[in-house]
């Protein structure tokens, strides 16, 4: 069976758009959370998030037409894909274009609903006929193109001349992790030799933010320092704060990567999915689906639980979500052996459909740099938890295997298993 390695990484987040800068700020415990400025948040119950500052799409997207048709999330994704390609050093004659795959996860089911569509509804007088007339006069002809959910596959594939296997996964945190796992399997089983994988989230638009704000999973408190509100695994945790961003990785078949002298960050060796039996946005108490996903990933990678050094946790920051995740990790790894656990989300904010890919980034860099990031704002743990939570500062230590997890609001759980490149 073919081996798969990570040779390129690109990311855009509230911590910046430079990989080393993002990693350095993460380890330093800096946070990109602040009061929302891209729209007026006063009518929302939660007014803080992780926004990407000073992003210039024209630095990455030369086509004016494509730039205008893309949603913000697609622009972020294109930028991180370009960074990943530059990082990997691949050129067009090193991989056949039909042997290059693209798998992307996102939160775009339609484009952000424009004000013109709202006006069309108000003018419709309650009938579909009147709505159609109003929409025709109010909406731009490009709206139907912008609304295509998987349009990002076109923009990325066309620009990089990729013609191999591809798929778009729409969802929450698990979407981008599932995209990475699909790319891994595509290469492992011989369908592709390389894959551009990851995800994006443009959750801070009024349409996307409204839906999440109404679900009751966001932190609704006020604070003198909003950077301290998002506190996964802390006893006083009270919900998540979301963010926008994108993370893309380039995966390659090992022998090809070695032949061209690629820089190898880490090896990906396992992928697993599970479904939680709890309600939407309310996981089962023992994290049943997450247990299934992690066990499948270990079985896929032929690695026993005793060898896993670190779990890059989801860390929703909700009472039920964190408790469920801890119980799942304890069930899989045992309470007599303290596996290291932390969540990187408080530094960037919860990037929703990009969260799984960003966790993968943190996992890969943990193995490459041999340092485990800590959970920001985690001060006091629950009394009955037995895991080794990394808090207050990063931990420099020997790390050979990392489990990266992502949990979707709809109950989908995904686990990716990475190994140190030796």
How much is the pLDDT for 290? 96
Q: Is 214 exposed, middle or buried (0-12, 13-18, 19+ CB in 10 A)?
A: exposed
* Alpha helices, H only, 189-230: 206-214
pLDDT tens across the length of the chain (422 residues): 899 999 999 999 999 999 999 999 999 999 999 999 988 888 888 899 999 999 999 999 998 889 988 989 999 999 999 999 999 998 767 888 999 999 999 988 665 665 556 655 666 666 667 666 666 666 666 777 777 889 999 999 999 999 999 999 998 899 999 999 999 999 999 999 999 999 999 888 877 888 888 777 788 777 778 899 999 999 999 989 999 999 999 999 999 999 999 999 999 999 999 998 767 777 889 999 999 999 999 999 999 999 999 999 999 999 999 999 999 999 999 987 789 999 999 999 999 999 999 999 999 999 999 999 999 999 999 999 999 999 999 999 999 999 999 999 888 999 999 999 98
How much is the pLDDT for 117? 61
50 closest CA partner among 13, 79, 83, 22: 13
Phi, psi of 344 (to 5 degrees): -95, 0
Neighbours of 287 (CB within 10 A): 29
For the record, the structure tokens of 373 come out as 């990031």
Q: Which residues pair with 389 in a beta bridge?
A: 341
Please state the length of the chain: 422
How much is the pLDDT for 122? 61
How much is the pLDDT for 120? 59
Q: How far is CA 244 from CA 112, 248, 348, 391, in A?
A: 14, 14, 9, 25
How much is the pLDDT for 214? 79
Domains detected in the chain: 4-111+147-420 (3.40.47.10), 115-145 (no CATH)
Task: Concatenate the DSSP letters of all residues of 41-84 into one string.
Answer: -TTSS--EEEPPPS--GGGT---HHHHHHS-HHHHHHHHHHHHH
Q: Is 110 exposed, middle or buried (0-12, 13-18, 19+ CB in 10 A)?
A: middle
How much is the pLDDT for 231? 95
Q: How far is CA 296 from CA 198, 289, 332, 339, 357, in A?
A: 20, 11, 11, 18, 19
* DSSP secondary structure letter of residue 17: S
Whether the CB-CB separation of 90 and 19 falls below 8 Å is answered with: no
Q: Which residues pair with 145 in a beta bridge?
A: none
Q: How far is CA 346 from CA 197, 260, 328, in A?
A: 24, 38, 21
Whether the CB-CB separation of 375 and 230 falls below 8 Å is answered with: no
Task: Return d(Cα 76, Cα 352) in angstroms, integer.
Answer: 14
Phi, psi of 354 (to 5 degrees): -95, -5
How much is the pLDDT for 326? 97
Neighbours of 337 (CB within 10 A): 12
Q: Which residues of 67-106 are buried (b: 16+ CB within 10 A; e: fewer)?
A: bebbbbbbbbbbbbbbbbbebbebeeebbeeebbbbbbbb
Pairing of strands 100-106, 48-50: unpaired
Q: How far is CA 163 from CA 170, 195, 260, 366, in A?
A: 21, 11, 21, 32
């Amino acid at each position: 069976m073919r081996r798969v390695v990570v040779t390129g990484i690109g990311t855009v987040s509230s911590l910046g758009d430079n990989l080393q800068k993002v990693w350095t700020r993460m380890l330093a415990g800096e946070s990109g959370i602040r009061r929302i400025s891209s729209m007026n948040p006063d009518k929302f119950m939660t007014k803080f998030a992780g926004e990407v500052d000073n992003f210039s799409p024209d630095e990455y997207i030369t086509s004016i037409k494509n730039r205008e048709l893309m949603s913000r999330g697609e622009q972020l994704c294109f930028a991180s894909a370009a960074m990943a390609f530059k990082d990997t050093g691949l050129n067009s004659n090193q991989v056949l274009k039909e042997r290059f795959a693209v798998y992307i996860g996102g939160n775009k089911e339609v484009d952000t609903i424009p004000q013109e569509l709202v006006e069309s509804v108000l003018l419709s007088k309650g009938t579909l006929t009147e709505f159609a007339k109003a929409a025709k006069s109010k909406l731009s002809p490009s709206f139907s193109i912008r609304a295509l959910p998987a349009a990002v596959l076109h923009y990325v594939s066309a620009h990089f001349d990729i013609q191999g296997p591809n798929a778009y996964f729409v969802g929450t945190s698990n979407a981008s992790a599932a995209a990475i796992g699909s790319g891994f399997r595509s290469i492992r089983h011989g369908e592709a030799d390389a894959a551009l994988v990851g995800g994006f989230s443009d959750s801070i638009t009024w349409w996307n933010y409204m839906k999440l704000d109404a679900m009751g999973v966001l932190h609704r408190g006020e604070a003198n320092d909003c950077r301290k509100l998002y506190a996964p695994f802390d006893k006083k945790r009270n919900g998540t704060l979301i963010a926008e961003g994108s993370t893309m990785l380039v995966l390659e078949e090992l022998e090809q990567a070695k032949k061209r002298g690629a820089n190898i960050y880490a090896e990906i060796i396992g992928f697993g999915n599970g479904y939680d039996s709890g309600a939407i946005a309310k996981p089962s108490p023992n994290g049943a689906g997450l247990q299934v996903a992690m066990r499948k990933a270990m079985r896929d990678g032929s690695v026993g639980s005793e060898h896993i050094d670190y779990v890059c946790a989801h860390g929703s920051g909700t009472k039920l979500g964190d408790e469920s995740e801890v119980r799942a990790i304890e069930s899989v790894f045992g309470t007599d052996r303290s596996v290291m656990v932390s969540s990187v989300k408080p530094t960037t904010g919860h990037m929703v459909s990009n969260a799984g890919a960003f966790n993968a980034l943190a996992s890969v860099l943990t193995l490459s740099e041999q340092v485990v990031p800590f959970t920001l704002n985690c001060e006091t743990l629950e009394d009955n938890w037995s895991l080794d939570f990394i808090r207050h500062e990063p931990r420099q230590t020997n790390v050979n295997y990392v489990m990266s997890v992502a949990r979707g609001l709809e109950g989908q759980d995904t686990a990716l298993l990475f190994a140190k490149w030796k």
